[in-house]
Amino acid sequence: MSSAPTATVASEHDAFGTRATLRVGDRRLLFHRVADLAPAHLPYSLKIVLENLLRHQDGADSAAAVRALADWRPDRAGQQVLELRPARVFLHDTNGVPALVDLAAMRDAMAGLGGDPSRVNPLIPAELVVDHSVIAEVFGRPDALARNTEIEYERNRERYRFLKWGQKSLRNFTVVPPGTGIMHQVNVEHLARVVMVRDGWAFPDVCLGTDSHTTMVNGLGVLGWGIGGIEAEAAMLGQSIAMPLPPVVGVRLHGRLPPGATATDLVLTITELLRGHGVVAKFVEFHGPGVAALPVADRVTIANMSPEYGSTCALFPIDEETVRYLRFTGRDADQVALVEAYAKEQGMWHDPEAPTAFTEEVELDLSAVVPSIAGPRRPQDRVPLTAAKSAFRASLPPGPADGAASGVPVVLDGTEHRLGHGAVALAAITSCTNTSNPAVMVAAGLLARNAVARGLTRRPWVKTTLSPGSRVVMDYYAKADLTRHLEALGFHLAGFGCMTCIGASGALVDEVSRAVRDHGLTVAAVLSGNRNFEGRIQPEVALNYLASPPLVVAYAIAGTMDIDLLTEPLGTGSDGRPVHLRDIWPSDAEIREVVASSLEPEMFARRYTDVFGGDERWRGLDAPESDTFPWDEASTYIRRPPYLDGLTRRPKPAEDIVGARILVKLGDSVTTDHMSPPGAIPPASPAGRHLSGLGVTPDRFNTYASRRGNHEVMMRGAFANVRLRNQVAPGTEGGYTRDFLNGGKVTSIYEAALSYRDAGVPTVVVAGAAYGTGSSRDWAAKGPALLGVKAVIAESYERIHRSNLVGMGILPLQFRPGEGADALGLTGEETVTVTGLAALNDGVVPPYVTVNAGDVTFKAQVRLDTPREVEHYLHGGVMPYVLRALLASSPAPGGA
């Protein structure tokens, strides 16, 4: 039995003699001196990883990883598996609720086995920001914020009450309540320490989060990236995160942005550049003389979109600009001094002349950046503004749709308008990416002021919303007297949250929605967000474009994508003359002047004084105060999951999988959205029928994402994507399979899984290459586990999903090259037996096991990639492993 997880900041080992004392003012802090061991050419990001390994030395395996970095050369990436331990875990409400449900269930199981439930806590700081639940239902009105907030609490009161219980009852768990801002902007402006201090040690702030855009904090020199919910739970519970030593791509920046080019244009250019180069599963690190020319606001804008160009992270090293930003945003003076002293002592202070070596190099001249948008379906598809009109027209399907090509008549406020393809139905200043950047936000406000002064208005068919990432935005808007001008164009404050950028955009203008449905009108959205994947922003919007905040305002005025903003007028002014974009675009000098005169350090200090306190609604929530959560059996949002039912103090030995049926057989590139859809719950689906049976009306179903705290809904949603093609039931689309215990009849995957489970028949999933791509969704592993899936046999896996399967006790197996399901002739009708797993009980990981599938026998690779993963699998997952470790020091009540 492994020892209980601990919150130890540093191990007692010092095999490399790097432990030292750092003096900062009157403080004396222990640290591991990376500069004594790291080669001079080691990238800054890997210096942070090296420090992490030194501080958590535990024997031969960690020593080998330390040597791999101490001897690092650019051609050695991927040859060593590292065990990284984050300094803190960062969550949002959508993933945070199920994580808290699991912790609450662990407390119940601990009590049931005679242990102390209060011992179950995150062992490192776990910070949750509620920002994913607010929806832009009401817009373009002075009461939009109040109404959207009221609706948010009405829908989510039960979830928020549960989060508040966690905030009260768990150690190391804090909640930033709704209405504070977007998690990544709150992280950058307040939560990020850059250098942590705990138990007398100083160490880098390594932050892993349940949102892919956790990388935004890389702009402050903090190493971090997005992980899955199950990985996050494991990290909170003291487990390390396994990762291969990554390649590091250096991006050398030089020059300066030209007049008129924004940080948004720069990040869209970088996204296109790095997608073209190929940085998936690689670290990206920015260096060169151009870095010094970028303020932190621009750096975090670039780092935020690391997932869009595919990298694991996108680090800007610490320098004078970092320290200035920390001081400006109200960080404690002692903390700022520590960051500077520590970075310089560790060789982590950016030196543009340092001889850093990278696995690959990319170069960008900032002066070559031009105004751009990206779309209509992918963030890497950058289009120079000069080509936006022609690119839009090229994106339309050939041929008219029910007369829409010549314009659809739409009556708005008593006036008839004719809307053609490309009508802008949504214009949203939204997301953490750009609303973190005062320059582009002020540019939007100044452009609005200039437009209103010329008599321009937004088009009445455009739904306009303003959802900043921070309350500070509205403070400097008020100081600069820009709020009223944005409101004059319909950009009223709709809420502080992700909103449109994550698809929480609400309904379109009713008349526009009817034109889309009845006439096949192809409408567009323009948003200052980071993702524009097909179907993400709003179900009725086919074309989605990313743009800077001032361009969002411009397109709201124009009302169409079928325009050349550089040559054609936006509209007619109050003097009857045409007004062009160039007539109202603010100068760079004016933007800088307004930012300097309106943005003050006191704004950050005031807004974050009581960041965990919340507003009157949050404070008024009646949350229980108890070690264990009082589950409500009538709840349709929060239910106690059955993962730990019947848990014993010792795990059963690993056994072969005998007589399994293939529940699902899938092709290549099946995503976690296919395994666990996040969107609306269809009334005719198993989840919809379940909710209807409980008296929930379809208008109250909400989404799968909002009900992730209810396993009854989520397990019914496993493999329930309406576009899933399960080859076990050929000719079907959606969550269907065949139940071979009942004559092979076609039924829902959920109902067939229950049939197998009740009969004691295990099930497996068979898949092609790149199984589990997309978002790192924990329910893509939790749902199959609850359905009784014991193993997945795939040609290859996305890294996080494979790890999540292990975390839920599902065995990932991999076909040998050339031996996929189709190549072996598997149909999905076979009975499957997997033999050779008993070797795991003796501490031996067999490289291959034998699989018998009907008349076919083949070898499959065992994808338990680290010793820790083997332990997790043998215990049935991360949660049983940690619970048993905690119980190991407790007396057994009657020898369970």
Q: Is residue 746 part of a domain?
A: yes
Asked whether the beta carbons of 305 and 219 are under 8 A apart, the reply is: no
Nearest to 261 by CA among 364, 339, 148: 364
Domain end, chosen from 587, 607, 627, is at 607
Asked whether the beta carbons of 662 and 751 are under 8 A apart, the reply is: no
The CA-atom distances, in angstroms, between 409 and each of 403, 461, 512 are 10, 12, 10
Q: Is residue 669 part of a domain?
A: yes
pLDDT at 376: 95
Residue 596's CATH number: 3.30.499.10
The CA-atom distances, in angstroms, between 598 and each of 102, 261, 330, 478 are 45, 22, 16, 8
Q: Is residue 721 part of a domain?
A: yes
What is the distance of C-alpha 697 from the center of its chain? 30
- Collapsing DSSP states into helix, strand and coil, what is residue 368? helix
User: What share of residues in the chain are helix, strand, coil (percent, to 5)?
Assistant: 40, 20, 45
Nearest to 795 by CA among 774, 775, 776, 771: 771
Question: Rounded distance, CA 645 to CA 630, Å?
Answer: 17
DSSP state of 437: -
Phi/psi at 505 (5° precision): -95, -10
Nearest to 665 by CA among 817, 793, 578, 842: 793
Q: Is there a single domain that holds both residue 585 and residue 666?
A: no
Kindly compute the dihedral angle of the four CA atoms of residues 177, 180, 184, 190, in this order, to the nearest 10 degrees.
Answer: -100
The CA-atom distances, in angstroms, between 394 and each of 421, 531, 860 are 12, 21, 46
Q: Is there a single domain that holds both residue 565 and residue 665?
A: no
For 457-469, the pLDDT digits (tens) are: 999 999 999 999 9
| CA torsion through residues 848, 851, 855, 856, sign | negative
Q: Is there a single domain that holds both residue 602 and residue 662?
A: no
pLDDT at 17: 94
Domain end, chosen from 578, 607, 636, is at 607
| CA torsion through residues 47, 49, 52, 56, sign | negative
Asked whether the beta carbons of 502 and 465 are under 8 A apart, the reply is: no
Asked whether the beta carbons of 190 and 127 are under 8 A apart, the reply is: no
DSSP state of 654: P
Residue 859's CATH number: 3.20.19.10
Radius of gyration of the chain (CA): 27
pLDDT at 531: 86
Q: Is there a single domain that holds both residue 528 and residue 427?
A: yes
Q: Is there a single domain that holds both residue 438 and residue 569?
A: yes
Q: Is there a single domain that holds both residue 556 and residue 666?
A: no
pLDDT at 2: 45
Q: Is there a single domain that holds both residue 592 and residue 662?
A: no
Query: According to DSSP H, which parts of 346-429 are helical?
Result: 388-395
Q: Is residue 510 part of a domain?
A: yes
Q: Is there a single domain that holds both residue 578 and residue 663?
A: no
pLDDT at 4: 52
Kindly compute the dihedral angle of the four CA atoms of residues 342, 343, 346, 347, in this order, to the nearest 10 degrees.
Answer: -160
Q: Is there a single domain that holds both residue 480 and residue 384?
A: yes
Asked whether the beta carbons of 589 and 132 are under 8 A apart, the reply is: no
Q: Is there a single domain that holds both residue 584 and residue 667?
A: no
Q: Is residue 199 part of a domain?
A: no
Question: Rounded distance, CA 341 to CA 824, Å?
Answer: 60
Range of the domain at 586: 376-607
Residues of the chain with pLDDT under 50: 1-3, 401-403, 892-896
Q: Is residue 760 part of a domain?
A: yes
Q: Is there a single domain that holds both residue 574 and residue 722?
A: no
For 404-445, the pLDDT digits (tens) are: 557 899 999 999 999 999 999 999 999 899 999 999 999 999
Question: Rounded distance, CA 511 to CA 635, Å?
Answer: 37
Q: Is residue 786 part of a domain?
A: yes
Total structural domains within the chain: 2
Q: Residues near 677 by Cβ (< 8 Å), separated by ≥ 6?
A: 704, 717, 720, 721, 722
Q: Is residue 238 part of a domain?
A: no
Q: Is there a single domain that holds both residue 663 and residue 584?
A: no
Asked whether the beta carbons of 373 and 546 are under 8 A apart, the reply is: yes
Nearest 5°: the CA angle 26, 28, 30 is 160
